[in-house]
Amino acid sequence: MNKINQLFSSRGDQKLLSLYFCAGCPTLEGTADVILAMQRHGISMVEVGIPFSDPLADGPVIQSAGTVALRNGMTLRHLFSQLSAIKDQVQIPLVLMGYLNVVMHHGIERFCRDCVESGVSGMIIPDLPFRDYMEVVKPIADRYDLRVIMMITPETSEERIRLIDEHTEGFIYMVSSASITGAQKSFDDAKQAYFRKINAMALRNPRMIGFGISNKQTLTSAYHNAAGAIIGSKFVTLLNETRDPDEALRQLKQVLEED
């Protein structure tokens, strides 16, 4: 069974926590250390960012991380090599997050094959049109038993949400707001209404809420309204400040427990 499906089918009532970081930042060769540290600290799933020169959905923290990674020399080929080296040590699901241009340049078939060979269970491609997903990407990804995770936002129509729910597996990435990534102190009434609306749709797939989760209040809200939470910018900031994944994870845990 795909590790993403296995994670959600076996979680019971447990709320899941997924963390994002950008491969190659703060150091080129730190990818394995970050992933293995997350596994030791009980993180449920890891999103590994593929750096790109024009990341439209990303806020300043993750944009800066991508710039550093590219300057450090990170490439998709090097990332696959790093992941392959620790494949046998990693039990938690790995999801690659990157833009369509990078995937297309690598070749979709080759990208999927390299994902499987390096222990990756799924991918998030924020700028992948749904039609292209259905006609081009999904048939190849299905052949390799890979999950293509689609995003929804408060601006996504109910019709499109139903289509995504019907034609994807794994989980749905529920973006907390129709904006770029970045930490937020709380989720306002409009976001809470959005969460309630999606809950009422009784979707087939579990959801993970991401974008803006950085403290106990936003984490608790995400846990209340979905299967779990995804944290990116806050962890990337701590990782850049400490340059030590274990210390960054300790500090993140402390921040998420503070009232």
pLDDT tens digits, one per residue of 189-245: 888 899 999 999 999 999 999 998 999 999 999 999 999 999 999 999 999 999 999
Preceding amide of 26 cis, omega within 30: yes
pLDDT confidence of 180, banded at 50, 70, 90? very low
Q: Are residues 125 and 96 in contact, defined by beta-carbon separation less than 8 angstroms? A: no
Q: Where are the beta strands (DSSP E) in 98-249?
A: 122-124, 147-149, 151-152, 172-175, 207-210, 228-231
The model's pTM is 0.94
On average, the pLDDT of the chain sits at 94
Q: What percent of the chain is modeled with pLDDT above 70?
A: 95
Pick the catalytic residue: 13, 33, 54, 58?
58
Three-class SS of residue 19?
Answer: strand
| 47, containing H or E segment | strand 45-49
Catalytic residue among 13, 29, 47, 135: 47
Are 227 and 11 contacting, i.e. CB atoms less than 8 angstroms apart?
Answer: yes
* Catalytic residue check, 58: yes
The tens digit of pLDDT for each residue in 60-93 reads 899 999 999 999 999 999 999 999 999 999 999 9
Distances 35 to 21, 29, 234 between C-alpha atoms, Å: 9, 12, 16
Catalytic site residue 189? no
List the one residue out of 109, 105, 100, 93 whose CA is nearest residue 141. 109
Distance, in Å, from the CA atom of 245 to the CA atom of 242, rounded to the nearest integer, reads: 8
State the residue for tokens 């990170």. Answer: 74
For residue 32, is pLDDT > 90?
yes
Backbone CA torsion sign across 241, 245, 251, 253: positive
